[in-house]
């Protein structure tokens, strides 16, 4: 069990959920902590192995008031949305889908990948939008791994997924100050984390890190106290996600796939989905009904 230290404000052990043979570990939102910077939802997907003929089938469903962010370590997911976007995401790429006033999408395992059998391992997160940008037009951006900047030092490799860090900035579009990076550390290597972002946290995907003399195992979200320079040292080869950014102007209401600063807006989105007023996803005939 990880301990709080002079640098660590909170440790969140994600709860595991079985989604029909596919396990996710949800670190955000958590008891006592809704967001880290703009990140309001953080799921570790897998690692899972799909036998031949199986895969994921997340039918079309709606979002408002957020951006979904998909990043993979292994495997492939085929994305379709109501804007007409249609493409696979593979390891090292990022899909940034801004829901704004409303979007619908599906996530599936493509037929050729399903036929061969596959593995899946990655992070699915949501970024809440600033209150004055919650109703922007929906949008979708796919950034290939080759177009995300990489910063390397002795034993350290950082791929900037979104926002800016270590002198590099990703082309991924953000609507508020955002910190999001995939970090690989060799055993004994250290990662300095400056206090330039208001909120900062790490999620250890694999390996082990040491902070303030205390060792922390994988599959935990470590949220740092603001204002201090932090040093994270890998005791073994380690992979982690660095996330954070500016705190938004207030908490958010969350219901199903909807996020908003206003409860009445979520109620309106419920009614719109129930009545079929969201745009359809081309090529899809199914959808997920409104819960309840």
Residues at the binding site for Fe cation are: 61, 63, 105, 107
**Nearest-angstrom CA–CA distance, 39 and 124:** 11
249, containing H or E segment = none
Backbone angles phi, psi at 181, to 5 degrees: -150, 150
Residue ranges at the known binding site? 61, 63, 105, 107
DSSP, residue by residue, 184-207: EE-TT-EEEE-TTSSEEEEEEEES
DSSP, residue by residue, 105-142: EEEE--HHHHHH-EEEEEEEEEEEPPGGGTTSPPEEEE
**Nearest-angstrom CA–CA distance, 60 and 239:** 32
Backbone angles phi, psi at 159, to 5 degrees: -100, 120
């Amino acid at each position: 069990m990880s301990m709080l230290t002079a640098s660590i404000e909170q440790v969140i052990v994600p709860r595991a959920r079985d989604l029909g043979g596919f396990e996710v570990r949800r670190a955000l939102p958590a008891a006592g902590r809704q967001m880290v910077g703009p990140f309001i939802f953080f799921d570790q997907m897998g690692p899972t192995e799909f036998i031949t003929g199986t895969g994921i089938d997340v039918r079309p469903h709606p979002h408002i008031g957020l951006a979904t962010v998909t990043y993979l370590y292994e495997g492939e997911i085929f994305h379709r949305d109501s804007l007409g976007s249609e493409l696979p995401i593979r390891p090292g790429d990022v899909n940034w889908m801004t829901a704004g006033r409303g979007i619908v999408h599906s996530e599936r395992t493509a037929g050729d990948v399903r036929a061969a059998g596959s593995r899946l391992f990655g992070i699915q997160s949501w970024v809440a939008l600033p209150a004055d940008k919650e109703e922007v037009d929906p949008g979708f951006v796919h950034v290939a791994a080759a177009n995300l900047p990489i910063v390397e030092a002795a034993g350290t490799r950082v791929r900037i997924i979104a926002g800016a860090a270590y002198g590099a900035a990703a082309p991924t579009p953000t609507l508020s100050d955002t910190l999001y990076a995939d970090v690989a550390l060799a055993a004994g290597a250290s990662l300095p984390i400056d206090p330039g972002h208001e909120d900062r946290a790490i999620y250890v995907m694999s390996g082990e890190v040491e902070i303030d003399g205390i060792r922390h195992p994988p599959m935990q979200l470590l949220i740092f106290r603001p204002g201090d320079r932090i040093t994270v040292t890998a005791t073994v080869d380690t992979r982690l996600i660095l996330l954070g950014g500016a705190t938004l102007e207030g908490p958010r209401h969350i219901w199903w796939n909807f996020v908003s600063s206003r409860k009445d807006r979520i109620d309106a989105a419920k009614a719109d989905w129930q009545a079929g007023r969201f745009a359809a996803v081309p090529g899809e005939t199914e959808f997920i009904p409104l819960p309840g």
